[in-house]
Homo-oligomer: A and B are copies of this chain.
Amino acid sequence: MPSEEFIVTPWEVEGHVDYGKLITLFGTQPIDDHILGRFKKLTGSIPLMLRRKIFFSQRDLNWILDCYEAGQRFVLYTGRGPSGHTHLGHLMPWVFTKYLQDSFGADLYFQLTDDEKFLQKDPLSMHMVRGFSYDNALDVIALGFDPQKTRIFLDTEYVHTLYPIALEVSKRVTFSAARAVFGFDVSTNVGMISFTSMQSAPAFLPSIEAGRNVPVLIPCAIDQDPHFRVTRDVAPKMGYYKPALIHSRFFPSLLGQDKMSASLPETSIFTTDDPDEARRKIANAFTGGRATVREQRELGGTPDVCTIYQYAFYLFEEDDRRAFELREECLTGARACGTCKKELADKVVAFLEDHQRKREQAKDRLEDFMVRDC
C-alpha cells in the first residue's frame, strides 16, 4: 500500500509510518476505549500492548468479543516468515498472542511460512528456511504457550493439510485482485503470486476440523493485513466466517527506522544474541538525546524518536507511571542517555538470559508443539 511518505506491504516497510493514516488506507478500525473497556471487563485488566495502543487497529474485534461473551470460543492464528533468527520485534505480537491464549483459553495455530520466504528471498534455500523455522519455533515455545492448545507447523511439512484449502482460496483470487493488493508486477515469480492462498488456509482450518464455523482472531503486525484482506474477501464465498484481526505497530529499529530488519543485524536484538552483543547494540542505538550532556540538561531530549525509550515503552517497562516518568525526565533534561541505555540493557540482558534458558529447554519440547502431515 504505497503512499507519499511510507510503504507498508507484507514484504516491505519503508519510510516513517503514519499509523493513523494506515488505518484509513487499509480501511481498518482503531482500537478505541470501548474495546479497552470490554477487555477489562472480560479479562480483569488491559494489557500493556492495548493500553499503549501498540496493538492499535482491528477488524471485527468486537464481533470476536461478542462471540466469546455468547460462549463461543475463538481460535487464534498467527505466524512468522522464517527468513532469519528471531528478534525482539517478532516476539512482541507473540507475547500479546500468549496473553490472548491465557486470558481467553484460545487454541493457537502458528504458521511458519517457509515456502513464502524461500520464494521471496533469492539467496535462501529450502534447507535454510526450514532451519530458521525450527529456530524460530524455539522462541515461540520459550514464551510459554500451552502445548495442549498450540500447534506450530511449517507450510512445507503441513502442506497435505493446507493445500486443499489453499486451492479453494486460489480459485477465487484473480491475478488482478492479487496485483491490486500486493503490487505484483510481471517479474514476480508465480509462487509469490499464489502464496497468499497458503497464508489464508489456517484461518479456515479450525472450521474444517470442527465441522462448523469457528471464529478466528489473527494478531499480527499491520503489514500482514493485505494477506488477510484476501482471506476475508474469499471467506464468505467458501462458507466461512471472515477472520477478525488485531494489528500491531512495528517494533522500532535500534537505528531509528520503522521496522527492525533481520537482514540488518545491528538494527535488532536477536533472541540468540549474547549479553555483550545486546549491550553493545543498545550502547550504539539511536536516541533522542542531545549532542552533549550539558545540552541534554538544558534543553531536554526527544523521547518520541528515541529507540531506547521505545524499547521500554513497547516491552520493557510494564509500569505505566514509570514509563511516563522516563519520558518526562528525558523531556526536562533530568535524565541522560547513558542512564537509559544502562537501565534498558540490564532489563534486556535479564530477559535474554531467561529466554535463552527457556529456549534451550524448548529443544526437548518441540515435538509437543509441532504438527506435520506425516
Contacts and interface: CB of A to CB of B under 8 A. Distances in A.
Copy number in this complex? 2
A168 B126 contact: yes
Interface string A156-195: 1101100110111011111110110000111111111110
A132 interface: no
A78 B175 CA distance: 29
Interface residues of A, number: 37
A167 B119 contact: yes
Interface string A3-31: 00000000000000000000000000000
Contacts of A190: 170, 173-175, 178, 193-194, 196-197
B156 A163 contact: yes
A75 B119 CA distance: 29
A159 B170 contact: no
Nearest to A173: B190
A167 B191 contact: yes
A264 interface: no
A115 interface: yes
Interface in A282-340: none
A33 interface: no
A374 interface: yes
Contacts of A374: 160, 373-374
Interface of A: 115, 118-119, 126, 156-157, 159-160, 163-164, 166-168, 170-176, 178-179, 184-194, 196-197, 373-374
8 A-B pairs closest in CB distance:
A170-B191, A374-B374, A176-B186, A194-B194, A190-B194, A160-B160, A159-B163, A160-B373
